[in-house]
Amino acid sequence: MKRAFITLSLLITLFFSVTSQSAEKNNIMWLDLSGMWTRFTCPDSVDYYMDRIVDCGFNTVIIDVKNTGSAVGFKSHIAPRLIDWKGVKIDPSYDYLDVVLRSARRHGLTAYAAFNIFCESYPHFKRGVLAGDTLRWRSMNYVAGKGIIPAPENEGPGTAFCNPALREVQEYEQSVLLECASRYPIDGVMVDRCRYDNITSDFSPESRSMFEEYAGVKLDRFPEDIYEWVPQPDGTYARVDGPHFKKWLEWRASVIYNFFKDTRDKLKALNPDLKFGAYTGAWYPSYYEVGVNWAGPEYDPSQHFDWATPRYRDYALAPLLDLYTNGNYYKNISLDDYYRSNGLVKNETDSEWQSGDHLCVEGACRYSRMLLGGRPFQGGMYVVDYDTDVNEFKRALEMNYRHSDGVMVFELYHIIRTGWFDALKEVLNPTDISTQNTYKK
C-alpha cells in the first residue's frame, strides 16, 4: 500500500505547535521482572538499587510484574506465578512485588505495577497460559507464504500473542490487573504490549465475524478482502491491500480503544486515585499495524496518511491515560543525526522499512508533543541502543529530558550491566555532583 509521507516540520506547521503543560519533570526507571529477578529476590539488594535510583534523580519506578510468558511477580490466584527463573528459585512465601513496593515507598518513589497484556506465551520455553482450553485464545496470523497459522507456530518471534478482540481474553487480562490493584497499594497500573502482535494478526473466524458486524459488510474473500500476500519474481511477497483494509485498521483500533476505556473504568471504580498509564512505540505513522492510536482526538491522521479513515481519530487513547511514555528507540539522536543517516528505520512492530524525521529521538519527542495535543509524556529510551558509547547514551538521555516531561529509562538491568549510574546522575541530578557535564552534544 502506498504510504503518505510528510515531514515533522511540515506537520507542525500544518497543525499546531505546543509546549509542555507539565512544570515538573517525571523521571521514570523501569524495573524489568526478568532482568531484575536475580537481584530483586534479595531485600537488601532491592534497597541498595533503590538508593542508587533516587541518587540518580528518578522519582518514579515502574515495577514490571507480568512478563510476556504470562507469569506474575506477586501472589496471584489467577495468573501463574514466577517462582523459578534464570536458575534462581524463590520460597513461595517471598512476595516479589510486596518487597520491591515497600522499598520504593521507603525511598519516596511513586510506584506503578506494569503488565504485559496480550502477549501470553514463551513458545520456545514452553511457558505461558496458551495451552489446553486457552489455545483458542491464540492469535491467528496471516503469514506470507504460509497462510493463516497460530501465532506460537510462527517462526521467529520468541513470544506469542492472544487475539485482543476476544472477550474472554480481555476479561482475563482485566482480572489480573484488578487483583493486583485490589491487594497492593500501588500508585498506578502501566500496560505494555496492549496491542495486536503485528499487521498479520488476527485473522481468526471470530475476528472475521466481529469485523463484519462492525463494518456492516459480508466478506466474500477472506483474508483477501482485507489484504493478500502476492508472490514476487524474486521470491518475496508483496502485500496488496483489499477493499476493506482501511476499515479493518479502524476496527482493530476500536478493539484496543474499547479495551483501554473499559479497563480504565474498572480500575477507577476500584480506586478513583489509581493512575492508569501506557507504554507504546513512538513510531506513530506505522503504529497502525498493531491497532493503536496513541494520539489525542484533536489530531486527524486521515488528513496526512492514506491508511487512516476519518473515524480513526475516534479511537485516540491519549485522553484515557494519566501517564504515557513512548519508546524513542533510535540510535540517531538529533534531527541532524537523522538527516546525515540513510533515513531508513525498521522498528520492532514494522512490516517494512520506514523513513521520516520522526525516526530519531529529537524528532520523536517533537512529533509526540504535537500528536498528543500538549498532554504530558515521558520520552522512553532503550539503553542497549547506545551500548558501546556512554556519550551517545547521555546525549539521548538529555534529548529526551529536554523535549519531553521527563525520561523513562528501559531498564535498570542494563544500567547495572553497563555501570552507567554516574552518566544518569550527570544529566538528571547534576546539582548533586561536583563535576560539570563534559559529554559531547
CB burial readout 239-260, b (16+ within 10 A) else e: bebbebbbbbbbbbbbbbbebb
Residue labelled with grid coordinates 493463516: 148
Asked if residue 168 has a cis previous peptide bond (ω within 30° of 0), the answer is no
The dihedral built from the CA positions of residue 18, 22, 24 and 27, taken in this order, carries a sign that is: negative
Averaged in consecutive runs of 10 residues, what is the pLDDT profile of the chain (441 residues)? 46 43 80 96 97 98 94 96 94 97 98 96 70 87 94 69 97 98 98 97 97 97 98 96 98 98 98 98 98 98 98 98 97 98 96 97 98 97 96 98 97 98 95 46 34
What pLDDT does residue 132 have? 77
Distance of CA 392 to the CA centre of its chain: 23
What pLDDT does residue 121 have? 81
CB 175 within 8 A of CB 169: no
- The CATH architecture that domain 8-432 belongs to is Alpha-Beta Barrel (3.20)
Which of 180, 46, 62 minimizes the C-alpha distance to 103?
Answer: 46
Which of 344, 341, 340, 363 minimizes the C-alpha distance to 354?
Answer: 344
Torsion of CA 281, 282, 288, 294, to 10 degrees: 90
The dihedral built from the CA positions of residue 414, 419, 424 and 427, taken in this order, carries a sign that is: negative
- Could you give the angle at the alpha carbon of 6 between the alpha carbons of 288 and 374, nearest 5°? 70
Largest Cα span, the chain: 70
CB 294 within 8 A of CB 326: yes
What pLDDT does residue 154 have? 60
Side-chain half-sphere CA neighbours of 62 within 13 A: 32
Residue ranges of the domains in the chain?
A: 8-432
What pLDDT does residue 438 have? 37
CB 210 within 8 A of CB 126: no
Pairing relation of β-strands 127-128 and 121-122? antiparallel
Residue labelled with grid coordinates 521507603: 106
What pLDDT does residue 18 have? 40
CB atoms within 10 A of CB 84: 10
Q: Say which amino acid occupies 64.
A: D
What pLDDT does residue 134 have? 87
- How far apart are alpha carbons 440 and 335 in whole angstroms? 16
What pLDDT does residue 23 have? 53
Which residues, at least 6 apart from 249, have a Cβ–Cβ distance to it below 8 Å? 288, 291, 307, 308, 309, 312
- How far apart are alpha carbons 117 and 194 in whole angstroms? 5
The dihedral built from the CA positions of residue 411, 363, 377 and 319, taken in this order, carries a sign that is: negative
- The CB-based long-range contact list for 127-134 (8 Å cut-off, 24+ gap) reads 127/69, 127/70, 127/71, 127/80, 128/69, 128/70, 128/160, 129/70, 129/79, 129/80, 129/172, 130/70, 130/160, 130/162
Phi, then psi, of 284 in degrees rounded to 5: -55, -45
What pLDDT does residue 16 have? 40
